[in-house]
Structure 1
Amino acid sequence: MKLQRKNRLRALSLGAVAVSGALALTACGSDDTGKDTGGKSSTSASGNSSIKCDDAKGQLQASGSSAQKNAIDAWVKQYSAACKSVQINYNPTGSGAGITAFLGGQTAFAGSDSPLKPEELAQSKKVCSGGQAIDLPMVGGPIAIGFNVPGVDSLVLDPSTIAKIFNGKITKWNDAAIAKLNPGAKLPDLKIQAFHRSDESGTTDNFTKYLIATAKSDWPYEGGKAWQAKGGQSAQGSSGLAQQVKQTSGAISYFELSYAADGIKTVDLKTGAATPAKATTENASKAIAAAQVAGTGKDLALKLNYQPTAEGAYPLTLVTYEIVCDKGNKADTLPSVKSFLTYIASEDGQGLLADAKYAPIPSEINSKVRETIAALS
């Protein structure tokens, strides 16, 4: 018996070292490691904090924002390595579809790049017995404007020019308005191929909110998850837009920065500062730090500042919310919901975001998120 106990303790020690090593190699695609908790209270070494599985078990269905998919993938990889009794299935259907599924009682939580509307909050009371849905800001980051213009490696645009491009008022890359913002650039006489989301999207909502706030006269639309401007071309999801930019000469579109991979170039935004702002997680964090909590009670919806004054602040940002019931969660999924959300809101969970090209939520806001998750029932 003593020998068995000694071997078991040695195995646990090696397991902890393996998990720590896996976390250090996350960005390099390390293998999953971790111990099966059997659904019981357990922790897994994870940097300076822990993944607490507690009584989490079974399948957890969630859907929504495609902008946060890469963050969810990174989180699920680490969480599943520690809590093998939980299977998390996240379907990046888009914010609109995700909210619809949640309000229909089909998922345990939803991801949305826009906070819930008053009518959606009211509807959620039918799903959240004795409570209502709340917005928990979990992922931040810039909405990159990707472009594919032969011979052009760097491009600066201002809100008015962006609005005119996506509204079909500027149709050629060598237009005078673009040339004025990019002196010395060899802009080709090439048709602009502007792509927008075909599905309802929180990324579209945030992109158009930026245009409404900064170039209202050139963007005469109400905004929302559905694209309203006429013309242009469309594609499904952030990944679909990124693929179109990559393969289409003259293309331009908008998507979360994590999708601007494989050589896709991104626009620098002209702001009130002396230097155009680049689409980086650091610059997005500067802008998100100026956000204010606009939700009431336990709802932590944020009001973003699209015209920040800080040097380098990238104003075209979005915040993705995890939408969950404050009360009335299903008994069979509540332990898993609390366990997973607690992890992704932890220092360790938020610490994975930068490597995935996302911006962590500012600590003063995130502390409120953690308190709210702990009180879910």
Structure 2
Amino acid sequence: MNKKRFGVVATLATVTTLALTSCAANEGGSATPDGGDAGNESTLSGTLVGIGASSQGSAQEVWRASFQTANPDVTVEYSPDGSGAGREAFIAGGADFAGSDRALNEEELSGTFGKCVEGTSALDLPVYISPIAVIFNVEGVDSLNLDAATLAGIFAGTITSWDAPEIAALNPDATLPSAPITAVHRSDDSGTTENFAEYLYAAAPDVWTEEPDGEWPSAFGGEAAAQTSGVVDAVTNGTNIIGYADASRAGELGVAAIKVGEEFVEYSPEAAAAIVDASPRVEGRADNDIAFELDRTSTESGVYPIVLVSYLLACEDYQDDSVAELAKAYLGYVASAEGQAEAAEAAGIAPLSEDLSEQVASAIESIQ
């Protein structure tokens, strides 16, 4: 089966389970969009400014709409300019919070943040878990199997034709065209790119020799497109073309199944959540700074390895108490069972597990 979008039944089942089991995760935080107890009239007001990952774009639209409806005197802005732009804006003080498809690194954490109290740091809050889909539009091909080495060769430019023996061996029943491959990558500094590259570097290091980064390696060619929408548009409107994008944006495009162990795994919310739960947190960080080292080489059955964990970045201590109040309420809603359920239905994310939801809720509650 060529799964072109998340299964609605599976997603709703996950949402229902989460809604029933995650109540504890929201104690002390906001489980409803009004930023307080259910049924209470909102007293929040002001504007909260966010910039960042375009992967979160669809989910942020839903989160903002629900939160602003419940809080009519609040405006939440989110500009999906990309992970790099979000981190830069948050560090410089141009945004109250940021969306990033990777956690802040040690160098960034050791610096200052424009909206935060001097001497304090920032928090990484994982709120958006999604597979990265390998999307394709190839003449006569409805389904496609790829392993790490072949995928790395395609994007590194060493496999250049769709009927190359490496691709043919993985797809014996497909009629592959004798046509050049056009591989599309992000032109902007992108967390999606960095997560995609992390998988290739971990799973096919002999082929993908460049260390992962948010910017595409200059040593590799391909066609560049700006942001998630640009990559999706290029693949949609091209021929014999392949790219990568947050799975929520795959639409009707073909999506490759990725070899894990001895099976080819199609993306799903459950497969994405499974690899996060099986992965360790980054060591040496504050308890409320939650960042993961994803196990990209897992061979466990049903695990999809090309996953991004997208974070919201916030101050642990804001200079402006009114901003802190808004940030705490909005982020609390985003991470709540209700917020995660809305994003799962609208954008196909994998809702936070009960354990991770409790960790994130505790971190948000610590914001001052």
Deviating runs (4+, > 4 A) in structure 1? 42-46, 49-55
Q: TM-score, normalised by structure 2?
A: 0.86
* 1:1-377 equivalences in 2 (<5 Å): 50=38, 55-124=43-112, 127-129=115-117, 130-228=119-217, 229-261=219-251, 263-272=252-261, 274-294=262-282, 296-297=285-286, 298-355=288-345, 356-377=347-368
Please give the alpha-carbon distance, in whole angstroms, between the structure 1 residues aligned to 2:183 and 2:126.
30
Classify 1:270/1:323 alpha carbon distance in 2 versus 1 (closer, same or farther; 3 Å). same
1:124 CA displacement = 2.8
1:361 CA displacement = 2.0
Deviation per CA, 1:32-69: give whole Å up to 9, x if none.
Answer: xxxxxxxxxx99689xx849785431111100101111
Residue identity in the other structure for 1:120: E
Classify 1:106/1:168 alpha carbon distance in 2 versus 1 (closer, same or farther; 3 Å). same
Does structure 1 conserve the Cα–Cα contact (< 8 Å) formed by 2:146 and 2:256?
yes
Residue identity in the other structure for 1:81: T
Identity %: 37
Q: TM-score, normalised by structure 1?
A: 0.84
Does structure 1 conserve the Cα–Cα contact (< 8 Å) formed by 2:145 and 2:171?
yes
Please give the alpha-carbon distance, in whole angstroms, between the structure 2 residues aligned to 1:190 and 1:325.
50
Residue identity in the other structure for 1:255: A
Does structure 1 conserve the Cα–Cα contact (< 8 Å) formed by 2:276 and 2:292?
no
Q: Higher Cα Rg: structure 1 or 2?
A: 1
Q: Which has the higher contact order (CA 8 A, sep 6+)?
A: 2
Deviation per CA, 1:115-165: give whole Å up to 9, x if none.
Answer: 111111122356421410110010001000000001111000000001100
Classify 1:76/1:242 alpha carbon distance in 2 versus 1 (closer, same or farther; 3 Å). same
Residue identity in the other structure for 2:144: L
Q: Any idea what SS the aligned residue of 2:367 has?
A: coil
Residue identity in the other structure for 1:316: I
1:307 CA displacement = 2.1
Does structure 1 conserve the Cα–Cα contact (< 8 Å) formed by 2:187 and 2:226?
yes
Q: Any idea what SS the aligned residue of 1:147 has?
A: strand
Does structure 2 conserve the Cα–Cα contact (< 8 Å) formed by 1:212 and 1:219?
yes
Q: Any idea what SS the aligned residue of 1:353 has?
A: helix
Residue identity in the other structure for 1:240: G
Classify 1:236/1:50 alpha carbon distance in 2 versus 1 (closer, same or farther; 3 Å). farther
Larger mean Cα displacement after TM superposition, 51-60 or 109-118: 51-60
Deviation per CA, 1:91-131: give whole Å up to 9, x if none.
Answer: 01110110000011011100000111111112235642141
1:222 CA displacement = 1.3
Does structure 2 conserve the Cα–Cα contact (< 8 Å) formed by 1:44 and 1:52?
no
